[in-house]
Chains A and B, each alone.
Chain A
Amino acid sequence: MVTREQEALAAAVAKAERPSWRSIWSALADVPDPEIPVLSVLDLGVVRGAEWDPVEPEVLVVRVTPTYSGCPATEVIIETVRQALADIGVRNARIETMLSPPWSSSWLSAHAQRRLSEYGIAPPGSATIGAPVTIDVRGLAPLRNRSLVPCPRCGSTRTELVAPFGSTACKAQYRCADCLEPFDFFKPI
């Protein structure tokens, strides 16, 4: 039979063996988004919080929220987070998915927005309302792009929306009328 003293002792041992918060956050800061590797899961705001389970002291509960409902990166992120925590000695991590509040691109820090821009993706905060350039494809009515997105390469605002969805759900495809380069725009959501 396990006495109350033995239980308390086991809990104390489990607590003593926990990695520090500093090492936990630094491990999470090194987990990249699989599709936009210049951003970490912390930059993106996908990891919402972490705490030691009050009942099972050796279990670290990590709460994550998906960017888009069907984003295939979510499962990769969960596995990578688990592995990164295991590498610093968190043997037992429970990853919980939360939906509320829904993920927002406004959670990207100024630092993350700058990193995106340097990577060649126009960040969500860069768009302004203005008269957009329109393109005419074989006599079809132009796409109604509603925002003015500066080109992340040359800074020109003479850019045009090519398609509202890009290589991933979170990005739209644009083209710069000055440097003629195509680029992705991380959509505000």
Chain B
Amino acid sequence: MDRDPLLFEYLLRLGDSPLILAQRLGEWIGRGPVLEEELGNANVALDLLGQARMWLSYAGEVEARYAPRPRDEDALAFLRDAPQFRNLLLVEQPNGHYGDTLMRQLLFDAWHLLVLQALTHSHDERIAGIAAKSAKEATYHVERSGDWVIRLGDGTDDSHARMQASLDRLWTYTGEMFMGDDVDASMLELGIGIDLAALRAPWRERIAHVLEEATLAAPAEDAFMQGGKGRGGKQGVHTEHLGHLVPEMQFLQRAYPGAQW
């Protein structure tokens, strides 16, 4: 396969996870447990949406190099169907209660920051630039989600039990975050992409540190649900939840094609 279609695929993966997570966090708007968290959630969602736009804009420009009908960031976000999304399974999981949302956020944020930091060394200057900008924001994200997991885990008996249940369930979606496939291998070889497997140890270390303070028990290292290579979110094999999220996210463009404001 040529370089550009692979790069396009790689950029979709980078952009779709923040896009879908921003949409999930947006579902909390107007329903936050306290005003401060209402604002915190919305601000994290905005950061992620801004990052998704940078990745998807670049993806659109790369697609224009080889495709007869290239798509811009809006077409990529609003006119693809669920199986064409390349986000992680973790980020499409429903919000649940507020502790579920924060646990999902911690597991993602810790991984996201490592990915972005590694990508700042990409030979693709555009990727390195977007990653450097996003990494600064992700640093604040992981501090916030970590703080909240500690507060709720090391909280009341009820909050502790709920956080442990969140962790045990969401953990099963984290396996694919460290599994590379052929696209990852090609991008790594070109010096554009990163080695996902190498992020597992530092991720576990960061998570273990938070869980220890939160008095939560880490699940078994291999307690993952993914079937292996080529069977996860970044290959377009999603949980049923994405099929509900995507139509809501795309409603306006589907009902009123080309609408702008």
Interface of A is mostly: loop
A112 near B: Cβ within 8 Å? Answer: no
Q: Which of A32-40, A56-64, A166-174 is near enough to bind chain B?
A: A166-174
- How big is chain A's contact interface, by range? 20 to 34
Of the listed residues B43, B125, B143, B213, the one surrounded by the most CB atoms of chain A closer than 10 A to its CB is: B43
Q: Which of A44-52, A65-73, A76-84 is near enough to bind chain B?
A: A65-73
What mask results when residues 82 to 117 of chain B are scored 1 for a CB within 8 Å of chain A, else 0? 000000000000000000000000000000000000
B154 near A: Cβ within 8 Å? Answer: yes
Measured CA separation A136–B236 after assembly (Å): 44
Measured CA separation A31–B132 after assembly (Å): 27
Instruction: List 21 interface pairs A-B (beta carbons < 8 Å), by A numbering.
Output: A69-B54, A69-B133, A69-B137, A70-B45, A70-B50, A71-B46, A99-B54, A100-B133, A102-B133, A103-B133, A137-B151, A141-B154, A144-B147, A162-B36, A163-B40, A164-B140, A167-B39, A189-B136, A189-B137, A189-B139, A189-B140
Chain A residue nearest to B134 (CB atoms) is A69
B residues with a Cβ closer than 8 A to A are 36-37, 39-40, 43-51, 53-54, 125, 128-130, 132-134, 136-137, 139-140, 143-144, 147, 150-152, 154-156, 159, 213
A127 near B: Cβ within 8 Å? Answer: no
Contact assessment for B152 and A140 in the assembled complex, using a CB-CB cutoff below 8 Å: yes
A54 near B: Cβ within 8 Å? Answer: no
Of the listed residues A137, A141, A144, the one surrounded by the most CB atoms of chain B closer than 10 A to its CB is: A141
A93 near B: Cβ within 8 Å? Answer: no
Contact assessment for A165 and B44 in the assembled complex, using a CB-CB cutoff below 8 Å: yes
